[in-house]
Amino acid sequence: MRLLPLALAVVVASTAAAQQRSTSPEPMSPPPIPLPANLPVLPAAQQTKMNHDLLEIDIEQLHRLYQQHKYTVEQVTRWYMGRIAQYNGIYRAVQTVNTAEALATAKTQDTAKYDAAKPLWGVPVVIKANTAVKGLIDSDGWQGFALPGHEFIAPKDATVVARLRAAGAIILGITNMPDFAASDTNRSTAFGRTGNAYDVRFSPGGSSGGTVTAVTSNMAMLGTGTDTANSIRMPSGTSAVVGVLPTRGLVSIAGIAPLDWLLDNTGPIARNVTDAAIALGVMNGSGHPVDPLDFRTEGTGRTEGADTAQLGPYLPYLKKDALKGKRFGIPAFMLSGNTGFGVSVAPRPTNAMRPETRAMLMKAIDQLRAAGAEIVIDDTFMPDTFAQAVRKINTRAYRRDGTNQWLAEFGPAEYRSVDAYEKAIGSPLPATVTGITPPGTAANPNRPPTPQVLLKEDPKADETYFGPRKAALALFLGELDRLHLDGVIYPSAQMPPPDETMPQNGQLSSGPHSSTGWNNNIGVPAVVVPAGFYDGGLPFGLEISTRPWHDGDLLGWAYAYEQSTKMRKSPVLVEAGLLPNAR
C-alpha cells in the first residue's frame, strides 16, 4: 500500500536511524514512485539487430553512426528505452523515463541533422534523482518529495543539466538513489532498491548506485553522479565504470539537493575515460565554470589554486604514455583502517581494508608499474594524523543553510524553505538535511545536535570550517611535495560489494564502505577506473587522486591505465530470478 501523508508524518519524525534505511531491519513499504511503464520501445527484431552496434558503444562511435546515417537519434533513444524496459524491473536503476521530452528532442535533432559543434549531440544520458531536471520529480531518493499532490517537481534545470542539454545530450531519465544520498547502498524509500548489474543480489554502492547500474548495463551512455564522501567513486568501482570527482569549484552544484553543501560535488560516470573526459568538459561549462549560484566556482570562494586550473577540453590530456615517470603514494591511514569522513566524523575501524581488496590493490600496483609509474609505499605518508586533521573540518552547523538556499532557488512553489515544507506537509524535513533534530528523537552519537547558522554570518566559520580545511589541504600538498609525488592511489572501496540478501554484521546490509571522504573535505579531484574483478566476479575499482585543479592530468593517468589494462567487462544481465522486485 502506498504511504498516506498521515503515515508519512510518523516516518519523517522518526529517529535518524530510521531515516537511514540502510540500517533499518524492518521491511520497506511499497515506494510511491512506480516503475516506468509503457515505454515506446522498438520492435524486438530491430532492438536485437541494433544490439550489435550499440552495446558498449562510446560517443565517438555513436557520432560516426549518425554521420553515416545508419541510425537516427530517435532510434537510438528508443533502443536505450528498450534496454530499460527489458532490465529495469530487476535492477531498478532508472526511477523515471523522460519519455515525451527525450523523443521530442531526438526528433528535433534528426530534423536539424548532426551538429559536430555539440560534443554530446544525440547522446542519451541519465541524471541522478537529487539533480533538478525541469518538469520531473526531484525525489532526492526520499518518499517525502514524492507525495501525491506534493511532489517536488523541479521548476528549472540544475546548472549541469542545462549544460548537458546545450551540448546536445538527450535527457533520458532519472536514476535511483538512497534517501538524501545518505547511504553507502542504494536503497530508497521513493523507488526501492537498486541491484548490482554484475549480480543483482549484491550492492552497487551508494549514493550514485542508480547511475552506475544504468551506465554499466547500457541503459544509458553516461550519467551524472554526486559525491559528498564517496558517492561517485565507490559505486563506480563496484560496477566497472569510470567515475570522476572534479576539483571542487570546477563544476557547479547549483540545483543539486544538498546532503552537506560544503562537501557535495558532482561529476560524470561513463564506461570509459574518453567519454568521461568529454562529459566533464561539458559539465564544467566548456572551460567556464563560473556560476553565481555556487560560491565555490567564483571569486574568493573558489577552491585554492584556481589560477592553475586545467579547465579543459580534456581530450588532449589522454595519452597512452601518461603514466611514464609519474610517482604515486598510498595513504598510510587507508592501509591501517582509520576511516570515517564526510557526513560522519567518527572513525570506523571495522571498515578497514579487507584482505581480498588489498590483494587487488597489489595487482593494480604491478599494472601501474608496468605502465611506467613508480609506486611509493611509505608508512609516514598521509598517516593517521592526516585523517585527524581532516576530521577537524566541521560543516554540521550549516546544513539548514544549504538546504534553504537550494529550496529558495530550485524548490517547487509549494515549499521554498525548510519551514515552508513543514507548513505544507504537516511534518518537518529530516535532520539529515536540516541539522535540526526533532524533539523527542533519540540521540545519535555520530551526529550530536548542532545549532544551525548561516555560513556568511557565522563568526566561527574560519575556526570551524575554512581554517581547518585550508590546513588539511596544505598538509596534503606538503605530503606530496615531501616525497615528490604526482598523486595518490588506493581502492575506491575498502571491501567487495556485499550480498544484500544476507545480513551483514547481524543487520541489513549498509553497502560497501570506503575511506575516501577526505577528498571532499579538502576539495581535491579523484577518478575511479575499472581495475579487475574479485574471484566472485564483482568489479574492483582503482582510485587516483592529485592536487586541486589538475583534473586533466588525472584523466590522462586514468586513460593510460585503462588502455594498458583493458579491464572493463560488461555484465551479463538477467530478466528474471532472485529479487524480482529488487528490494
Question: Which residues are the active-site residues?
Answer: 128, 207, 231
Query: What SS3 string covers 151-204?
Result: CCECCCCCHHHHHHHHCCCEEEEEECCCHHHCCCCCEECCCEECCECCECCECC
- The candidate with the shortest Cα–Cα distance to 124, out of 169, 79, 75, 158, is 169
In whole angstroms, what is the distance from residue 92 CA to residue 88 CA? 5
Beta bridge partners of 488: 329, 545
In whole angstroms, what is the distance from residue 428 CA to residue 424 CA? 10
Asked whether 240 and 254 are in contact (CB, 8 A), the reply is no
**Angle of CA points 265, 267, 268, to nearest 5°:** 160
Beta bridge partners of 255: none
Angle between helical axes of 418-425 and 399-410 (0-180°, round to 10): 70
Count Cβ atoms within 10 A of the Cβ of residue 195 and give its class: 0-12 exposed, 13-18 middle, 19 or more buried.
Answer: buried
Alpha-carbon distance values, 246 to 9, 236, 255, 388, 391 (Å): 38, 14, 17, 24, 21
In whole angstroms, what is the distance from residue 531 CA to residue 528 CA? 9
Q: Where are the alpha helices (DSSP H) in 92-166?
A: 99-112, 159-166
**Angle of CA points 442, 443, 449, to nearest 5°:** 125
Phi and psi dihedrals of 142, rounded to 5? -110, 135
H-run or E-run covering 392? none
Q: C-alpha cell of 98?
A: 523522460
Q: Where are the alpha helices (DSSP H) in 229-296?
A: 233-238, 273-283
Cell 538556499 belongs to residue = 405
- The candidate with the shortest Cα–Cα distance to 197, out of 205, 187, 508, is 205
Residue type, 138: D
Q: Would residue 150 be called left, alpha or beta, if left means φ above 0 and alpha means ψ between -120 and 50 degrees?
A: alpha
H-run or E-run covering 420? helix 418-425
- The candidate with the shortest Cα–Cα distance to 188, out of 237, 146, 238, 231, is 146
User: Three-state SS for 112?
Assistant: helix
Alpha-carbon distance values, 149 to 1, 33, 172, 366 (Å): 17, 13, 24, 56
